[in-house]
Amino acid sequence: MIKDKIKLLKADITTLRVDAIVNAANTSLLGGGGVDGAIHRAAGPELLDECRTLRGCSTGQAKITRGYRLPAKHVIHTVGPVWHGGRQGEPALLASCYTSSLKLAKENDVKTIAFPAISCGVYGYPVSQAAMIAVKETVTFLEKNPELDSVSFVCFDDDVYEAYQHALDTFTKDEVSK
Ligand code: AR6
């Protein structure tokens, strides 16, 4: 079952021993606050050195680096959209963050991956809508790509956890009724 491959965690993503953690980065890929800052602090300066070679990343796209001092082997850096009210392509861009990251994971033989709630902090995306997009894109990808073993959604805040729980319940019901 797809739902058995999806986990909901309350954790600091920098502590996870997975093949790849996803970073909610900005287009420069040169670090920032929030989860991006936490990942760079935990990975050490070598991460920034590698990021400098990548020449940035467009919104909705993703790029991969090594994990350096993190327990995770890789970091997949993706750039979520800034929320401007929802009519400037934000849902498609956020969906693309998930699909681009998962595609990059597959291409790099990543079997276990953990996502933060991309765009749900400084970038202001409404959490309930973001959680539905994250879960929907992940379920669709897992249906087509069974080689991926597990996808964790890491929720730092209680409201984020509840939103993902609701989204997972929605999609779990769909799976059962198929
Ligand atoms: N582990 C898991 N989740 C975390 C952690 C952590 N250690 N720290 C924060 N979060 P944000 P965005 C949650 O603002 O909205 C940066 O400056 C946080 O509570 O990190 O995509 C970048 O450089 C929230 O739910 O990312 C960009 O400029 C979620 O991660 C900009 O922020 C995302 O919040 C990106 O903004």
Q: Residue 156 has which token pair?
A: 């730092």
Residue 176: its pLDDT value, please?
Answer: 52
Write the pLDDT tens digit of every residue in 15-57: 999 999 999 999 999 999 999 999 999 999 999 999 999 999 9
Angle at 86 between CA 82 and CA 87, to 5 degrees: 115
Q: Ligand 1 center to residue 4 CA distance, Å? A: 26
Nearest atom within ligand 1 for CA of residue 39: 7
Whether the pLDDT of residue 171 is over 90: the answer is no
pTM of the model: 0.97
Residue 100's pLDDT is what?
99
Residue 173's pLDDT band (cuts 50, 70, 90):
confident
Q: What is the pLDDT of residues 114-160, one digit of tens each?
A: 999 999 999 999 999 999 999 999 999 999 999 999 999 999 999 99
Distance 176 CA to ligand 1 centre (A): 33
36 is annotated as an active-site residue: yes
Q: What is the pLDDT of residue 178?
A: 44
- What span, in angstroms and rounded, lies between the C-alpha atoms of 83 and 91? 9
DSSP characters for 67-116?
A: -TTSSSSEEEEEEPPPPSSS-SSHHHHHHHHHHHHHHHHHHTT--EEEE-
